[in-house]
Structure 1
Amino acid sequence: MYIICSIGPKINDENSIKDMASEGMNVARFNFSHIDYNNTERLIKFIVNNFKNIKVLQDLQGNKIRVSHKFIREERVYTGDIVFFCIEENYNLKFKNKKVVPLTILKNLDSLANLKTIYMKDATMEFEIIDICGKLVKTRVKKGGIIRKEKGVNIPNIFRGDMNLNEKDKKDIVWGLSKGVDIICLSYVTCKEDIIELKGCISKTLKRFGKGNFPKIWAKIETKEAVENIDSILEEVDGIVIGRGDLIPETNIFKVPLIQEEILNKTKLKNKEYILGTYLLNSMKRKETPSLPEVEALYNHIKDGINGFMLAGEVSTGRYPSMCVRTLKDIILKYS
């Protein structure tokens, strides 16, 4: 069974990789939304040379909407505040006395017409769309927090049909294949065409290299469109990852268990791999033991025939990354 650990601030050198490996990590996940090529290359070489059983997973950012790098400050907003959003290319315009936040990916504001809500940071922050005023989207804060660059943004029901594989992803694919990654996971997949394009890019790159093995392809399911198109997506991939952190605001928290059950059944019928990610052992970000609901949920997933789990914030930013991996391994061994 896959025990996937996200490399991040708390796991970012050879010693921490050793710790994770000794506790049961068998897949090292590198999130290419936030990547340092030099350090990542060093860690991949270390893994390849020392841990033959550990696979390297390249997680591409895909068409996830984020607060742009152009937003160089941090700003706390409170319930009732008025906040404006814009596309990146318009952020250099001067908006006097307005709180303006640039978003990535969006090419224009037309895709926001008739939509109601913008979420940030896994729906812990919420903005009600009031109006589209020229080059700005006017919103009122319903749940506040701190806005900073790279924070994830969800806009339920936004049309993503014109959002193709972006230039960063293409560059990252070439880099990852040159380092021999074992698995490529594309985030924010919406339809099979996203995967077909990804596979085409991989084939073209490997042909150019004149060598290299084709990696496993996983699709991360995080959007309503992906759920609706899951049958055709499964035809093109080796497995899927349920990204619950984004799936909750993109769909509805009460729908997520039903979505998980439906997709698990379909992956088993098609003999594809099913991996669950986000909020697995979330309580262990701050304490040394899991909660009973977390253990019970993991038990049920294992009993249902899951293929693996992806630890994210629990290990990349949590206080007890090693213990978290050990706990997950112990649970898997106990209930498998």
Structure 2
Amino acid sequence: MAARTSAKAVDQDKGAAPLPSADELLGYYREMLLIRRFEEKAGQLYGMGLIGGFCHLYIGQEAVAVGIQHALKQGDSVITGYRDHGHMLVCGMDPRRVMAELTGRVTGYSKGKGGSMHMFAPAQGFYGGHGIVGAQIPLGTGLAFAHRYRGDGGICVAYMGDGAVNQGQVYESFNMAALWKLPVLYVIENNRYAMGTAQARAAAGRRLCDRGEAYGIPGHQVDGMDVIAVHAKAQELVEQVRNGQGPVILEAMTYRYRGHSMSDPAKYRTKEEVQEMRERHDPIENLRRVMAEHGLAQEDAFKRIDKEIRDIVNEAARFAQDSPEPDPAELWTDVLVEA
């Protein structure tokens, strides 16, 4: 089924976002490419039977996490759903330990017990990875409450998909966040299809970001395939949230190239639609083109980054496969926290 709108046909603010410096753009390029290559390798390892359970790849959506993360500060919190590998990497988590967790090894962030959907790194401000649809939103709202209670100046960015927006717990969270003016930026990564149903068939209303209107929460849309636009809008909204103006919703219009999970053949959309998105809206290729057109990077810089990223990802895969599996006794650890 064809989608209702294209990634470019969104209600964005007037005027183009200012062009960041060459160093900043190369940083965006490097991080998006790291996510892309990492996810491709994860897909390969899944096919080899080295990753068990569910595995949801972030390929195509890289500009969202990268653009938003660069608007945050040390001490801020990030929480998301199960399509989470990209967020982990852009939060600064070690690709080797992320891959080790995916493959169920003891060197992973959750000692090999969490897998793709459940790993945490509080030192990097990352609080999951949650497998229940929408469950991260009340938790993210709680993280925002903790920031306010402690007075540490931090905010929480709570990511969700377009399918999660229809969950009741999301609106309970909106209500409390608005009531207490909590420092939280809710990000809807609208990749159009939730698990496999087109948004037009499952969600009433024109824009998902308007779902907070009843609570007085402002909503904004941005082209989630354009990392420059995402970063510019995120900077604006993060400042509002940090300055005590309460919660804000940002809907990033994006697209996933693969199925919902590795077991999804994605027959609910046409090959032509996917091909058009890859050819005309790919966030990595478009950023590369912008840099080249403005003389901000030469081909040798791209090749150098490409090689560096491939080396990092290959090393992550080797590290994971060389790491031992957890001892069966680990089943009884990390179950309860003694307080």
Higher helix fraction: Structure 1 or Structure 2?
2
Q: Same fold (TM over 0.5)?
A: no
TM-score range, shorter chain: 0.3 to 0.5
TM-score by length of 1: 0.33
Higher strand fraction: Structure 1 or Structure 2?
1
Question: Higher RCO, 1 or 2 (CA under 8 Å, sep at least 6)?
Answer: 2
TM-score by length of 2: 0.33
